[in-house]
Structure 1
Amino acid sequence: MAFYDVIGKTYAQTRRSDPRITKKLLEILASSPASTIADIGAGTGSYASVLAEHGYRVFAIEPSETMRSQAIAHPAIEWMDAYVENLPLSDQSVDAAIIMLAFHHFPDYRQALNEMHRVVGNGQMIFFTYDPEMISSFWLTEYFPSFIRDVESTFLPIPKLLEEIQSITDSVANVIPFPLPNDLSDSFAAVGWARPELYLDSDIRNGISSFSKIDDDELNSGLFRLSEDLERGWWDRKYGHLRQQSEYDVGYRFFHRSAV
């Protein structure tokens, strides 16, 4: 996971768990009995820590040493240096498995689903992901158009993900839209939907994988135009209504395969 060894150095500061996301995650988990959870692609452990604080035993699986080194130790969390394609867990050893905005980084998504299903058996499978069909309508792509190509090439379309889950697990997953709050504390790609100034902060951008893939010319041009549009009030004349909204459906989704 060399990619995240490079961009993940400040993840613990900018990619903190958001209470609204954790509330929804805990709500979904509570729909079926569960005590042990595999957090796959756990990053720095922000969501694993919340689960541990709520009484779950968590196996946090993360191949990036840079990410793992930023995690705060917790007696209910066992960290594992491993990739999703070969999870170091026995068959049906956990009650639930979660993937929080990491599924799109797995090169072999079918093997990832197979491994997830193997370790969870008939337990819960929960994904927090993004609908790539919505990226072109997000205003940020006007400044950084390569976001569209990156998102559409990395995130599995929602119907395709549903189809793959059903083919591997022989069960149907539920899709739950998750509108983002305007004060999101987990600074992933759409964190600034109502706070465009955030994208001018290099620390914020460094925690967003899509920004790391933009070439310097596009990045510098986009930042210059965004800064100018904010200074002159152009952004607010076009998108200022977003600042008045408490939440906005940018395209994030929870997928939930219930225990069967």
Structure 2
Amino acid sequence: MKIESDASSAGGGHDGHDGHPAKYDRIGVGYREIRRPDPRLASLIAGGLGDARTVVNVGAGAGSYEPQDREVTAVDPSRVMLDQHPGTRKVKAGAEQLPFPDGAFDAAMAVMTVHHWPDAARGLAELRRVSRRQAVFTWDPEHSTELWLFEEYLPEAGARDRSAFTPLSVVTGALDAHTVLPFPVPHDFTDGFRAAFWRRPESYLDPVVRAASSTLASLPASVVEPAIARLRADLRSGAWQRRHADLLERESVDYGYRLVLAGS
């Protein structure tokens, strides 16, 4: 069965700051090549969905972390992102006004997208309205451990993220969440979002990698390029390796990513 419709043009998205679909119409091209779902996070999210058979993925993007053994309906405001989505049930719509009746799904999922929504509280209320269970993966902007890239090279990006991401307390409160699970990022994490390359600093030198992260893609070249030049010089001199010798010995780091569970 194929469902393809256009219900709205606001909200949704994946791993960025700006709810406007034009943003992902611009930077979403080639997104799936860098943003490859990691099986460890996929397992955490699948477990969070419980026994749900029907799932709506709000801010679905290219379909990352959708369980293959469930009936999933993907919702996203960006046509570019939906065109990369491999599923057959796709709806172009925003999180704040989901075009489904009350209780239409067993579960709703949202992965690194709530901070895109112009009205996060309304979008989260919509998740609760259309499903009995909710699983939301997000980043806590109040978490104390910051990625070295933003602390040392791009403080503008760190400040932007902390002001743009929805506080974890807002997400848990709006959902009336009963569980919050941490997800420390493994050193070989395959999904190239914000902190994925914490132990692979040379990856941030690649403009293709940076373009797949809206945290970096949304900043002007006049800010990003000098910072990347400093990183390149530090890698060549060994200064980065000396400063971060402890990271090179670690398997994972808790950078504040959380899976929030609500409902039943």
Deviations 1:32-89 (A, max 9, x none): x3100000000011322xx1x2x2000100111111111224xxx4111111111121
Match of 2:173 among 120, 139, 163: 163
The two structures, once aligned, show a CA RMSD in angstroms of 1.4
Q: Residues 183 and 136 from structure 1, CA distance in 2 versus in 1: closer, same or farther, beyond 3 angstroms?
A: closer
Q: Residues 136 and 149 from structure 1, CA distance in 2 versus in 1: closer, same or farther, beyond 3 angstroms?
A: farther
Residues 15, 207 of structure 1: 8 Å contact kept: yes
Deviates more, 1:19-28 or 1:213-222: 213-222
* Identity value in percent: 35
Tell me if 1:10 matches 2:30: yes
Equivalents in 1 of 2:239, 2:178: separation in Å?
Answer: 42
**Residue number in structure 2 paired with 1:43:** 61
Equivalents in 2 of 1:114, 1:27: separation in Å?
Answer: 22
For normalisation by structure 2, the TM-score amounts to 0.88
Map 1:1-260 → 2, pairs under 5 A: 1-30=21-50, 33-48=51-66, 51=67, 53=68, 55-73=69-87, 77-120=88-131, 123-134=132-143, 137-141=146-150, 142-166=152-176, 172-259=177-264
Residues 182, 247 of structure 1: 8 Å contact kept: yes
Deviations 1:206-245 (A, max 9, x none): 1111112222222111100000000100000011321221
Residues 132, 251 of structure 1: 8 Å contact kept: yes
The structure where helix makes up a greater share of residues is: 1
Equivalents in 2 of 1:187, 1:164: separation in Å?
Answer: 28
Equivalents in 1 of 2:113, 2:146: separation in Å?
Answer: 22
| Displacement of 1:136 | 6.5
1:250 maps to amino acid: Y
Residues 184, 254 of structure 2: 8 Å contact kept: yes
Residues 61, 82 of structure 2: 8 Å contact kept: yes
Equivalents in 1 of 2:35, 2:178: separation in Å?
Answer: 27
1:213 maps to amino acid: S
Residues 153, 231 of structure 2: 8 Å contact kept: yes
| Displacement of 1:173 | 3.0
| Displacement of 1:247 | 1.0
Q: Residues 165 and 72 from structure 1, CA distance in 2 versus in 1: closer, same or farther, beyond 3 angstroms?
A: closer
| Displacement of 1:148 | 2.0
| Displacement of 1:251 | 1.1
Equivalents in 2 of 1:156, 1:207: separation in Å?
Answer: 21
Structure 2 counterpart SS, 1:220? helix
For normalisation by structure 1, the TM-score amounts to 0.89
Structure 1: runs of 5 or more not aligned: 167-171
Residues 135, 151 of structure 1: 8 Å contact kept: no
Structure 2: runs of 5 or more not aligned: 1-20
Equivalents in 1 of 2:95, 2:167: separation in Å?
Answer: 20
